[in-house]
Amino acid sequence: MTIETLSDHLNNRVTNTKQIFIAVAWIIAALTSLKLSLAVLNAINTIPFLGLFLEIIGIAYVSWFICRYLLSAANRQDLALQVNSFKEQIFGTTP
């Protein structure tokens, strides 16, 4: 085994280990943010009437969205065009 092959083997091993550590770090970050989000939601629900108030706001917004965009065919087509435009801005145009 030459030094060059040993160096290549060690370099491949370090690269694979880096990828594993990065994946584990992303998993830990995702779990931490999920736990933090659940803690914040639980804190909001313990405040009297705030959870109910936010739920009523959510229901009102969903009702407005349905009336504005989903009841008529023309509005649905307009919404589809807006969504496709947004997807093109984010992901770019597909060939």
The pLDDT tens digits for 11-33 are 777 777 778 888 889 999 999 99
pLDDT per position as a tens digit, 36-55: 999 998 988 888 888 889 88
Q: Tell how far CA 12 is from the center of its chain.
A: 32
Give first-to-last CA distance, the chain, whole Å: 48
DSSP secondary structure of 14-54: HHHHHHHHHHHHHHHHHHHHHHHHHHHHHHHHHSTTHHHHH
Q: What is the pTM of this model?
A: 0.52
